Amino acid sequence: MSKRVKIGIVAPSSRLDPATAERVAKLAAERCPEAELHFHPQCHLSCGHFAGDDAARAAAFAAVANDPTFDALWFGRGGYGSARIAEAVLPKLTDTARRKAYLGYSDAGALLAALYAAGIPGLAHGPMPADIRRKGGEAAVARALDWLVRRAPEALEPSLAAGGKAAAFNLMTFSQLIGTPLEPDLAGHVLMLEEVDEHMYRIDRSLFHLTSHRPLRRLAGIKLGRCSAIPPNDPEFVLNEVEVVEHWCKVSGIPYLGRADIGHDPENKVVPFGAWRTGAP
């Protein structure tokens, strides 16, 4: 019998509804019986925009991160709220929090960034339980479980096979970490960026921001994930997202390395932070 892998799910950003949690638990039982999922009750709290107030979200995150019986902390959902609690969470973390996998994306990037800046290993950008609500989203959730339970190589963003250090973020989420203590040192990394629901002029402005920030000029390069649900630009922006990132890479001297297989969609692959090392969890 395979080793059980205990996964604690918290929601540092927006609320995860119980029905979504049940669908994910059912899928995990069917498709990945080694996974033992524990949805922390905080996932279902509600406080305005957030899954509970800042104190409740920070406490749940620290409780799961510091619990040695959990092998992994899985971000339940994005939305907004991780940045709000990151500076409060960090001092609460013990050495136990360093021996754990973390998986999430979108707004979760604010906490992943802060954890990476604090030198915590085991972080990855990838699907979350809430992705099950997308059309075809079961595949994304199954991919995340394959990663969390057995570090399945087929869950990985394909270009990672080339080796080197990487990190992945939502573009706007990362832009609004620049210059704060949450910003990690990404010198020598390939930075993969994806976006959703942003006008093209805002994608351009965010790329101005990133590529003009001098520490990021030490990146090994930028890879562009999918930019989906872009609202119409008035007037037409003319440049598309590839031309925009090519422009800013040319201006800044950061190599543009092509597309990345990440985005707000069921195809979203897993990107471990730092140098990817093979091996079981």
Q: Which residues bind its own copies (CB under 8 A)?
A: 15, 46-49, 79-80, 83-84, 87, 175-183, 200-201, 204-206, 208-209, 212-215, 233, 235-239
Enter the tokens of residue 167. Answer: 């990190």
Pick the closer one to its own copies by CB: 213 or 259: 213
Residue 123 bridge partners (DSSP): 102
Pick the closer one to its own copies by CB: 66 or 180: 180
| Least gap, CB of 81 to its own copies (angstroms) | 8
**53-62 core/surface letters (b: 16 or more CB in 10 A; e: else):** beebbbbbbb
Q: Are 169 and 207 in contact (CB under 8 A)?
A: no
Spatial separation of the C-alpha atoms in residues 240 and 237, rounded to whole Å:
8
Enter the tokens of residue 92. Answer: 């609460």
Pick the closer one to its own copies by CB: 94 or 240: 240
| Least gap, CB of 167 to its own copies (angstroms) | 17
Pick the closer one to its own copies by CB: 4 or 49: 49
| Least gap, CB of 173 to its own copies (angstroms) | 8
Enter the tokens of residue 256. Answer: 């543009």
The one-character DSSP state at 156 is: B
| Least gap, CB of 55 to its own copies (angstroms) | 13
| Least gap, CB of 77 to its own copies (angstroms) | 13
**134-154 core/surface letters (b: 16 or more CB in 10 A; e: else):** beebbebbbbbbbbbbbbeee
| Least gap, CB of 228 to its own copies (angstroms) | 18
Cis peptide before 235 (omega within 30 of 0): yes
Pick the closer one to its own copies by CB: 84 or 165: 84
| Least gap, CB of 66 to its own copies (angstroms) | 23
Pick the closer one to its own copies by CB: 53 or 267: 53
Pick the closer one to its own copies by CB: 25 or 239: 239
Task: Choose among 137, 105, 142: nearest CA to 124.
Answer: 105
For tokens 């500076």, the residue is 87
Q: What are the backbone dihedrals phi and psi of residue 230, each rounded to the nearest 5 degrees, phi first?
A: -75, 120
